[in-house]
């Protein structure tokens, strides 16, 4: 217990000592704070005085600077006004000179334009007169060409009409010949039929009957031409339907034989002339008449060996006679 009491007394004494130290420290801190407060107030007063002096000095300097700037600005304004007035006067004189130069250039340009327009009017009049002359010559040439073309068309039409008329005449003659053959065949067939029906006892009005051999020979001869009656009937049917009748083989053998060499000559002549040839050239070169040339050219066109374009006949491509 004694040791505990001693320790407690010792702790109490240390506690009391610590309290006293704390109090002393607090008093020292308060004294130090008061001293710092006083020093700070003194420094603040000094700083305020210095700032007031500096503010007054700056204000004086600023006033002086503003006065100097104002004086300089007024001087610069006067100089600027003088420069602007001088520049305005110089600009006015330059504009007046430029305007005078532009007026002179415009006058020269107007004169040059008037001269150029006069030259163009003259050239246009000359060109118009030339064009009118060329146009009149072209119209005259075109009229001549059209007249020649119409004349050639008229000649071709007349030649075609003559050829068609001759063809119809030949067809009529061929048809007449075929009708005569049919009549002979009919008479022979009638005689043969009468003989085969009546035998040797022929009526008095009928002609004398021929021997059997002769009848057989006539029947054979009559039967041979009957094979040609079908083309005649076909020809008549085609003519009744409006189609052009084909030319008979027997009556027109001579015409076909004479037309083939003409076609070959015309075809060979056109082969030698790649640019084509006209009807008059073919006639004069080959020495044939208009009918032969028109027949040969029409036959070659129907065979699709040649073509006609702008009154010129030329070989069709890949054409072989």
Sequence spans of domains, the chain: 252-321
User: Hey, what CATH topology would domain 252-321 get?
Assistant: Arc Repressor Mutant, subunit A (1.10.10)
Q: Print pLDDT tens along the chain (321 aa).
A: 678 888 888 898 999 999 999 999 999 999 999 999 999 999 999 999 999 999 999 999 999 999 999 999 999 999 999 999 999 999 999 999 999 999 999 999 999 999 999 999 999 999 999 999 988 888 988 888 898 889 888 888 888 888 888 888 888 888 888 888 888 888 888 888 888 777 654 444 434 333 333 333 333 333 433 333 333 333 333 433 343 333 333 333 334 444 567 888 999 899 888 888 988 889 899 988 888 888 889 888 888 889 888 788 988 765 444
Q: Which helix (H) or strand (E) holds 247?
A: none
Q: Which 8-state DSSP code applies to residue 248?
A: P
Do 262 and 285 meet the contact criterion of CB atoms below 8 Å apart?
no
Beta bridge pairs of residue 307: 314
Instruction: State both tokens at 200.
Output: 């040797």
The counts of H helices and E strands in the chain are 6, 2
Residue 266 CA to residue 269 CA, distance in Å, equals 5
306-309 vs 312-315, strand pairing mode = antiparallel
Q: State the distance between the two ends of the chain, measured CA to CA, in whole angstroms.
A: 164
Closest by CA to 251, choosing from 186, 167, 188, is 167
Residue 264 CA to residue 314 CA, distance in Å, equals 14
Q: Which 8-state DSSP code applies to residue 313?
A: E
Residue 248 CA to residue 231 CA, distance in Å, equals 8
């Amino acid at each position: 217990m004694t040791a505990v009491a001693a320790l407690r007394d010792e702790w109490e004494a240390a506690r009391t000592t610590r309290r006293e130290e704390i109090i002393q420290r607090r008093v020292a801190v308060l004294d130090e704070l008061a001293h710092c407060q006083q020093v700070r107030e003194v420094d603040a007063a000094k700083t305020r005085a210095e700032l007031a002096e500096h503010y007054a000095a700056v204000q004086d300097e600023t006033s002086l600077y503003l006065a100097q700037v104002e004086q300089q600005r007024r001087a610069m304004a006067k100089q600027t006004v003088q420069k602007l007035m001088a520049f305005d006067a110089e600009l006015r004189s330059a504009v007046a000179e430029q305007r005078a130069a532009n007026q002179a250039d415009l006058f020269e340009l107007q004169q040059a334009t008037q001269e150029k327009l006069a030259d163009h009017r003259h050239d246009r009049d000359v060109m118009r007169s030339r064009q009118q002359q060329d146009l009149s010559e072209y119209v005259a040439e075109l009229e001549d060409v059209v007249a020649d073309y119409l004349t050639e068309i008229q000649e071709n039409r007349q030649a075609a009409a003559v050829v068609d008329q001759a063809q119809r005449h030949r067809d009529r003659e061929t048809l007449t010949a075929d009708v005569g053959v049919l009549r002979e065949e009919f008479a022979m067939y009638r005689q043969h039929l009468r003989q085969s029906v009546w035998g040797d006892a022929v009526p008095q009005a009928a002609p004398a009957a021929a021997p059997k051999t002769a009848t057989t020979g006539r029947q054979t001869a009559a039967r041979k031409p009957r094979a040609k009656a079908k083309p005649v009937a076909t020809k008549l049917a085609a003519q009744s339907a409006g189609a052009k009748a084909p030319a008979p083989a027997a009556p027109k053998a001579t015409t076909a034989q004479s037309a083939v060499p003409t076609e070959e000559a015309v075809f060979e002549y056109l082969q030698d002339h790649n640019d084509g040839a006209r009807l008059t050239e073919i006639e004069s070169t080959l020495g044939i008449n208009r009918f032969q040339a028109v027949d040969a050219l029409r036959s070659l066109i129907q065979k699709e060996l040649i073509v006609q374009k702008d009154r010129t006949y030329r070989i069709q491509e890949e054409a072989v006679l």
